[in-house]
Amino acid sequence: MTHRASPETNPTAFPEVAEPLVSRVQETIISWFEAEARELPWRDPNTTAWAVLVSEIMSQQTPVSRVEPRWREWMEAWPTPADLALAPTAEVLHRWDRLGYPRRALRLQEAARVIADDLGNEVPETVEELLELPGIGSYTAAAVASFAHGQRTTVLDTNVRRVLIRVFAGRERPATSPGRRETEWATGFVPEQHHVEWNAGVMEFGALVCTARNPGCADCPLRDVCTWNRLGRPASATKPKTQKWAGTDRQLRGAIMDALKTAHSAEAEPAGISIDLFTTSVTVLDPDTLGSLDESTAAAVARVRELSADDQRISRLISDLVADGLAQEHAGRLDLPRT
């Protein structure tokens, strides 16, 4: 058995922490949370488990500030899983708006259908059951079980990972993705009492104080005990390279989806404007076609063309969108899914 020096395989990467320090940090975080937590709508005591689940899905890789207005609209439109289950998928994608990763909206509706059809319209309470639902992984399952049902789980998101690594391991940032060792290590810090406040509190602390870029160490309530701070806040050697955006398939896919949504809205007008956009096999973007579109749709289509002049590439991405269930052929034209 050979040992590599990577954080994941290094036995000291997740060190054992003395109990007095653990208790001190737990108490500090929990009392900080009760004093400083943001008043997010899904933290209201009257919020349903379904509403919590929706907030967690929307918040995956998306800042809370952008989630909040969408979440309010969703809760008004679809207050229970059964409501979302029955909604037209095109409307689901519309109300998802620009939260990003639109497949999350598809998965959420799939999950709603499972809950409505097979689970009595009740959100599961255990991590194991939650993990069975589409779009729910280890983080979301633990978060819903904890925040919606009060279960003692290990919530490990990007904030929690960063706080724990800094305070207890003295490093600036965690590895790319959490492994089993890190999860078990984090589980050791979840207290027997007030574990919901701990889970929510560490997350909130990472979002507001122990931030990725400019952490508020000067006024941090943990500054005297934080290992990273005591070591002089050394920078991590390797920072993962971020993905490009401009010119990528992702950008172009987004523009195509935007065109479909815009066209879908225009088509819903009483006048019934004919939408010649794409077919699944051929791209149709000639000037005559554009001229027949309403202004907003024409602009959205022009944006697609602006991003790429390669019709084969656009056709390939359209095929991918159809395969992913994000688009659908309808009456010979491309449209949002009508199911």
Partner DNA sequence: AATTCGGGGTG
Partner DNA sequence: CACCCAGAATT
Q: Does 296 bind DNA (CB under 7 A)?
A: no
Asked whether position 159 contacts DNA by CB under 7 A, the answer is: yes
Quick check: 98 binds DNA (CB under 7 A)? Answer: yes
Nearer to DNA, 128 or 292 (CB): 128
Site for DNA in 160-189 (CB under 7 A): 162, 173, 176-177, 179
> Is 255 among the residues that bind DNA (CB under 7 A)?
yes
Task: Using the rule CB under 7 A, give the single segment among 26-34, 83-91, 153-161, 304-312 that binds DNA.
Answer: 153-161
54 binds DNA (CB under 7 A): no
Task: Give the residue numbers marked as catalytic.
Answer: 56
Backbone angles phi, psi at 157, to 5 degrees: -105, -175
Verify binding: residue 207, DNA, rule CB under 7 A: yes
- The least distance separating DNA from the CB of residue 272, rounded to whole angstroms, comes to 26
CB of 227 to DNA, least distance (A): 19
The CA distances from residue 259 to 254, 298, 313, 331, in Å, are 9, 8, 16, 17
* 21 vs 119, beta carbon nearer DNA: 119
- Give the residue, chosen from 81, 102, 174, 337, that forms a contact with DNA under the rule CB under 7 A: 102
From residue 312 to residue 331, the character string flagging contacts with DNA as x (rule: CB under 7 A) and all else as - is --------x-----------
Closer to DNA by Cβ: residue 85 or 141: 141
Among 11, 45, 232, 245, binds DNA (CB under 7 A): 245
